[in-house]
Amino acid sequence: NAGVTQTPKFQVLKTGQSMTLQCAQDMNHEYMSWYRQDPGMGLRLIHYSVGAGITDQGEVPNGYNVSRSTTEDFPLRLLSAAPSQTSVYFCASSRTRQETQYFGPGTRLLVL
Amino acid sequence: AQSVAQPEDQVNVAEGNPLTVKCTYSVSGNPYLFWYVQYPNRGLQFLLKYITGDNLVKGSYGFEAEFNKSQTSFHLKKPSALVSDSALYFCAVRDIGLDSGTYKYIFGTGTRLKVLA
């Protein structure tokens, strides 16, 4: 198993550009989520999904879209990048609601 | 509102001494509590969790945590710290929505542990 994979590892964007951060897991996990990590802020939940076709907002959803068309993939879309979205983004998954989360290696995003 | 608090930004401890990293929580219902560790430039790794049962939970790398319902705390402990334990530690709680079909995880702000040789 590859576990949770994220691409790209690092990305530089200009303000106003759009992009998609990819996340995939090969463990047949039902729960997937996106977090951003900022200094002194811990991890803040952006969006999450409890299964294919079901998504919901977390603490900081503005400026981000998600979809879950398959169990394996949970892409995060930045619609119009802003400097405030400079952060490290982590994707995570868990098999069921009682299981622990497995984290991807992260995507470091810089918005100029 | 649901929340998790890690009151210490940093904890320093000498190698060989016991360590404690504090966590308190506020959620509705019975919480599921977790500790994760993050090494530099890496994702988070699971250490241990409390779901139900014995209040003392043992986890990876010799870590343990004690669930205290009356104090709403879930402090992480280790009897003898190692320099290699130096990392960023996150406490998290899984909040079950009123509709049990929804749930999400809430993380604390993290505590940086420095173990000094």
pLDDT in tens, B62-116: 999 999 999 999 999 999 999 999 999 999 988 765 555 556 788 899 999 999 9
**What chain A residue is nearest to B110 in terms of C-alpha separation?**
A42
Residue in B closest to A97 by C-alpha:
B103
Q: What is the pLDDT of residues A68-101, one digit of tens each?
A: 999 999 999 999 999 999 999 999 999 876 678 8
Helix (H) or strand (E) holding B77: strand B73-78
- Say if A40 is an interface residue toward chain B (CB within 8 Å): yes
Task: Give Cβ neighbours of residue B5 (< 8 Å, ≥ 6 apart).
Answer: B23, B24, B25, B26, B108
Distances (CA, A) of A109 to A73, A90, B6, B38: 20, 11, 26, 19
Q: Tell whether A9 lies on the interface with B, counting CB pairs under 8 A.
A: no
